[in-house]
A and B are shown apart, each in its own frame.
Chain A
Amino acid sequence: MLLAPIIWVLTVGIVYFFAAKTWWFPPPINQHGMDYDAQFMRTLIVVGIVFTLAQFALGWVIMKFRNDGGKASHSHGNNALETLWTSATAILFLGLVVMGTKIWAGVHFDEAPPGAIPIEVMAKQFSWNFRYTGPDGKFGHTDLHLINDANGDPFGLDPKDPAGRDDIMSASLKVPVGKPIKLILHSRDVIHNFFVPELRMKQDIVPGMEIPIHFQADKIGIYEVPCSELCGLGHFQMRTTMQVMSEADFEQWKQQQAANK
């Protein structure tokens, strides 16, 4: 009997923390992020109602139907009720998936827009590297055997390939604001995961696979990129940043990097 008020208090407490948003998403930095948050809120409202009603109903039957020495009613069930709550749940759950489809499709079914800036990502235990094309717009050929982390070449650029001579490498991700970006994800050892909370997007990086993802960041700033797939003892330290810069700053940064080579 004491259980009923405890369930109610816990329910109210949980609802409070989800409503107060004390610990919450960082603000989104693109349209996809806003769409994501809208879908999350739709789900949260549905789930919140279902959760609250179910817990309050449970508390209520505990309170109402406690043993008072009388006789319990005898019923084996009610088929109309079974049909009602089965169909209601099915429509509700499937409806949510259908509503979220557009968000998933935007990330995974659509190709990167033409003109998206290609950036190659090379993840390894326990650091990140990013490669940009130079003025020729082409990535140079790379070879595993030529990788030399100590010399600042985590990709293994082939010196014989002229297309690679102007490639730019960086330990953090720099992108221009408001431009479509296409990341080409590579790992050279174990599985890692590229995650920017503000982008509302993550993707595993699997050795032996080349996985492209695309996005656009619309707000200038520096955002953290914590590795989000267990990759070994340094997993918790495998962090870099994504800096969203004005287009002019981005071009200037690229020129500086090229000059420093």
Chain B
Amino acid sequence: MSSPAHAAHHAPHSFIRKYVFSLDHKVIGIQYYLLGLFSVLIGMSLSLLMRFHMVNPNVSVAWLGKLWPTAAAGGVMTPELYLSLMTMHGTIMVFFVLTTVPQSGFGNFILPIQIGAEDMAFPVLNMMSFWTTFLALVVMVAAFFVQGGAPLAGWTAYPPLSGAGPLTGPGEGLGQTLWIVSIAIFCGASLMGAINFIATIVDLRCKGMSLMRMPLTCWTWLVTAILGLLGFAVLLAAGVLLILDRQAGTSFFLPAGMLINDHIIANHKGGSPLLWQHLFWFFGHPEVYIAILPGMGVASQLLSTFSRKPVFGYKAMVYAILSIGFLGFLVWGHHMFMSGMNPYSAMAFATLTMCIGVPSAIKTFNWIGTLWGGKIHFTTAMLFALGFVSLFVTGGVSGIFLGQPALDLYFHDTYFVVGHFHMIMGVAAIFGMFAGTFFWFPKMFGRMMNETLGKIHFYLTFIGVYCIFTPMHMVGIAGNPRRYADFTNVEYLAKLIPVHQFMTHAAYFTAAVQLIFLVNLAWSWRKGPKAPANPWNCTTLEWTVPSPPPHDNFNGVHPVVLHGAYEYSVPGAPRDFIMQTEPLPVPSGD
């Protein structure tokens, strides 16, 4: 454990160096958080437009016609516009919200303080990583405004639909190219971030902060960074190959013998559409864990803090995080059971998929074990952590159906899948972010959030998301295919339209409820009561420093850690928590 001196830099004075091109991990963390907040508002708006169109496919809305004069001529959304909203919703949510906020946002701000460092290992790389992500977002959003509009191939961008150019549909021209370029830029940014996180944890832990004394949040940020390093490298390569297929006439993913939209494709042969799927999901499955692991870390930290009990089975939790990280790279094929790949490999992928369910179940048991015998304080942050556990269970168990190739014979590409992944990597991950927001807001902004507004927001959101995503499983069981612009062309889908109407209204309701959060965030930032250094009586290092922390985090003092992170209600201690820098009481009577 070397001295963190090489990460130190002087506090900047100009506005630009302080708030725009800042090297300070805390500013960069907030920048990432705000980028994620902006992105989630776009992503959510797109989902509302989609939900509207699904149940009102022929209703004309004047402002839609003004917004998209061709794709929604006369105010009625075309199916291609629906698909481009869907593609952009998925892409923006997965990359710019789920990947960005839990890891680059909270991780950037909290991780160095939690391990007792003055900054990340490479502050300049950190700044470049953020601005590269910002550039990726600009390029992604630009796809809306080019000829043909945004791409319609989904966030998975399967070729030939995504690889054969504008012949396959509107949005498959420049829009799709911008999409791939944006993803490639994003991969570069994520690689920079991943290297920085790994180096920081390996190199900058303060005296006494052994790996097995780290808060579980740091473990999840470490494993997430490793997943990002290995996963985004592969996606970057895949993206470059796809651009080459589109722009340079190569044939990595495009086979011979295609006749698209009455045009014979003569200049491609020998490529494999399945190759893209293998490369994409080699990234794409670890990506699920990139989105959810930091949420698991936050949940563990909060359940322990607010039940005033040590984490149940800390070591088992660490091993579970590590095995999820490892197995996460061996299960990508379960997205491809129906793809036409060798059906024998499906058995291997299914077995490994069920194996990865085991550490996930261990975590759930340990969370309940942590609460058991505790004294639970129902802060808003804690409510979101408890909500996370409930959603994680609900979203996780449906994976037991989908992980079986036999049952996937029916469920693949139905709404059952949409319900499953929204529940777990969408909503559960977002509950992790809300929990993190309410928990760390005092540290990040020096003010407390409003608990009453927070609790109203929690309860309404918790009920709202169950009402949106549970019925998706039911229509999935009834055979409803996903990625359909409307449900009027297949007879057996007609009886499901009322269920879709219910989900649409639940989505409107849940989205409206988020205004409470935005108001709370904005009001608390400006007017919230001043936060003390440790409002939650929590044990980890970020609570030893003022809120917000000074530029170098520890005012020039190097903290020394004496024990693990979760010493709550220790017998013989004067208080019900012992900071990591305070000695444990000597057991009396020996």
Where the two chains meet, the residues of A that have a C-beta atom closer than 8 Å to any C-beta of B are 1-3, 6-7, 10, 13-14, 17, 22-26, 36, 39-40, 43-44, 46-47, 50-51, 54-55, 57-58, 61-62, 65-78, 81-82, 85-86, 89-90, 93-94, 96-97, 100-104, 107-109, 124-125, 144-145, 147, 149, 188-191, 193, 195, 197, 200-204, 206-209, 211, 224, 226-237, 239
Contact = CB atoms under 8 A, between A and B. Distances in A.
Interface in B464-503: 466, 470-471, 474-475, 477-479, 481, 483-487, 489-493, 495-496, 499
A86 B463 CA distance: 31
Contacts of A145: 264
Given A36-B410, A74-B568, A239-B489, A57 B158 contact: no
Nearest to B495: A23
A67 B569 CA distance: 13
B79 interface: yes
A105 B58 CA distance: 44
B457 to A, nearest CB: 14
A72 B373 contact: yes
A233 B78 contact: yes
B528 interface: no
11 contacts: A10-B390, A25-B479, A75-B373, A82-B365, A93-B355, A93-B357, A100-B406, A125-B168, A145-B264, A189-B261, A195-B413
Minimum-distance CB pairs A-B, first 9? A208-B255, A108-B343, A100-B406, A77-B313, A73-B373, A197-B479, A103-B406, A93-B354, A236-B484
Contacts of B272: 208
B258 A43 contact: no
A77 B477 contact: no
B257 interface: yes
Interface string B343-386: 11011001100110110011011101101111111100001001
B537 interface: no
Given A82-B362, A103-B406, A75 B309 contact: yes
Nearest to B80: A233
Nearest to B84: A233
Given A25-B478, A85-B362, A236-B487, 10 more contacts: A1-B378, A22-B474, A58-B386, A61-B374, A93-B354, A100-B404, A125-B261, A204-B340, A207-B160, A229-B338
A231 B407 contact: no
Interface string B269-289: 001111000000000000000
Interface string B165-202: 00011100000000000000000000000000000000
Contacts of B397: 47, 50-51, 54
B151 to A, nearest CB: 11
B255 A202 contact: no
Contacts of B375: 65-72
Nearest to B172: A232
Contacts of A69: 375
Given A17-B470, A74-B570, A93-B357, A61 B368 contact: yes
Interface residues of B, number: 116
Nearest to A225: B490
Nearest to A89: B361
Chain A contact residues: over half helix, strand or loop, or mixed?
A: mixed
Contacts of B11: none
Interface in B134-166: 152-154, 158, 160-161, 164
Given A54-B364, A62-B376, A189 B79 contact: no
A211 B479 contact: no
B451 interface: no
B483 A203 contact: no
Nearest to A154: B259
Contacts of B406: 36, 39, 100-104
Given A94-B351, A147-B259, A65 B478 contact: no
A204 B393 contact: no
Contacts of A107: 343, 409
A104 to B, nearest CB: 4
Contacts of A190: 158, 160-161, 164, 168, 260
A70 B338 CA distance: 55
A3 B378 contact: yes
B114 interface: no
B340 A224 contact: no
Contacts of A71: 308, 375, 569, 576
A25 B478 CA distance: 5
